Amino acid sequence: MDNIELSEKLVTEKAYVVERISANISKVFVGKEFQVRTLLIGFISGLHVLIEDIPGVGKTTLARCLSRSVNLDFGRIQFTPDLLPGDIVGMTVWSNDKREFIFKEGAIMHQFILADELNRASPRTQSSLLEAMQEGNVTVDGKTYALLDPFFVIATQNPVSFVGSFLLPEAQVDRFGVSFSIGYLDEEHEVLMLDRFAAKNPLFELEPVAQPKDIIEIRQIVRQIHVEDSIKHYIVQLASASRQDRSIKLGLSPRSCQHLLLAAQAEALLKKRNYVIPEDVMKVAQPVLAHRLVLSAEAKIENKTPDQIITKIKQSVPIPSGVGDKAK
């Protein structure tokens, strides 16, 4: 796959696979096209996803719909204050039968992980996900164990104002490539949801429309989507502008630039293009960047939001021109 010539035909074929996945999800999860698309951008680019919202809006249902649609081995970890790192990554235990210490796998040993209510666990337990999300493996007692491929994490978190919630550390938040909220359905779609779930749960009847090998191939192709140097400079300039903005206490990291580039490549694939244009970067900037910003005290007093600041940053950085013509 590394040496393949990335034709528009191949990109279009893979885009149709993602469209099938999206259509399959919509058989159960209704009325949230933007959220489904954003989730898929994270999924096909290998970026982990953070969803912050109140209970009951469908966070878990959305995750299960995606895992069933692509036939990935699914594991759910319910984060609670008494959860320990060893419960997640595994631990070394003594085996009386073998008369030696053996590795007992933790809950992370699945292809698709739903980390439910992540911010209810202590920071120590939250940090057990860092190595897995960044490097695709876990280390226990000095020995490293590779995770299954493809590996993907969807984490949900409650609003910080909820009882029993901890604030996610900045290092943890920065590991998530994409973040969004779901919100309430409008009346029409909420009635449709009631109709679908009235007699039975349609999730149980959802059949796969893609296989793990398809996801591995799509992720490889996403990384081969052509990116002009001017686009890369544009991404770096967006990050640099955030570091100079007085409304921001902690600006965007170099990792955020990598994630923004990957998400823009995924957006280009969904548009059936084998090259990135500035509009791709602008389209995915909000869900990729906003959750990473740490606002200054002054910005909080003025009730500024990360979304507003990202919009201002996008408006302040000149957009490169002629990129699409060059790529063609």
Residues 54-66 have pLDDT tens digits of 888 888 899 999 9
> Half-sphere exposure of 245 toward its Cβ, with a 13 Å CA cutoff?
31
pLDDT of residue 325: 56
**Range with the poorest average pLDDT among 34-48, 152-166, 215-229:** 152-166
Phi/psi at 159 (nearest 5 deg)? -55, 145
Q: How confident is the model at residue 93 (pLDDT cuts 50, 70, 90)?
A: confident
Q: What is the band of 223 on the pLDDT scale with cuts at 50, 70, 90?
A: very high
Average pLDDT score over residue span 110-117: 93
Q: Does residue 265 carry a pLDDT above 50?
A: yes
H/E stretch holding 76 reads strand 74-78
For 168, other C-beta atoms within 10 Å of its C-beta total: 21
Confidence of residue 191 (pLDDT cuts 50, 70, 90): very high
Please determine, for residue 104, whether its predicted confidence score (pLDDT) is greater than 60: yes
- pTM of the complete model: 0.91
Task: Provide, rounded to the nearest whole percent, the portion of the chain with pLDDT above 70.
Answer: 97
Q: Using one digit for the tens of pLDDT, what is the confidence trace for 278-288?
A: 999 999 999 99
How much is the pLDDT for 31?
87
Q: Mean pLDDT throughout 210-227?
A: 96
| pLDDT score at 3 | 36
Q: Which of 88-102, 220-234, 279-293 has the lowest mean pLDDT?
A: 88-102
156 pairs with which residues across the strands? 51
Q: Predicted confidence band at 5 (pLDDT cuts at 50, 70, 90)? A: low
Average pLDDT, the chain: 90
**What pLDDT was estimated at residue 314?**
94
Q: Can you give the pLDDT at residue 324?
A: 63
* pLDDT for res 279: 95
Q: Is the dihedral of CA 268, 273, 43, 158 positive or negative?
A: positive
Give the whole-angstrom CA distance, residue 163 versus residue 160: 8
On the question of pLDDT at 275 being above 60, the answer is yes
Domains (ranges, CATH) in the chain?
8-81+109-219 (3.40.50.300), 225-327 (1.10.8.80)
> In angstroms, rounded to a whole number, what is the distance separating the alpha carbons of residues 291 and 38?
14
User: Of 43-47, 186-190, 207-211, 227-231, which range is least confident?
Assistant: 186-190
Contact predicate 79/107, CB 8 Å: no
Tokens of residue 44, six digits: 């096909």
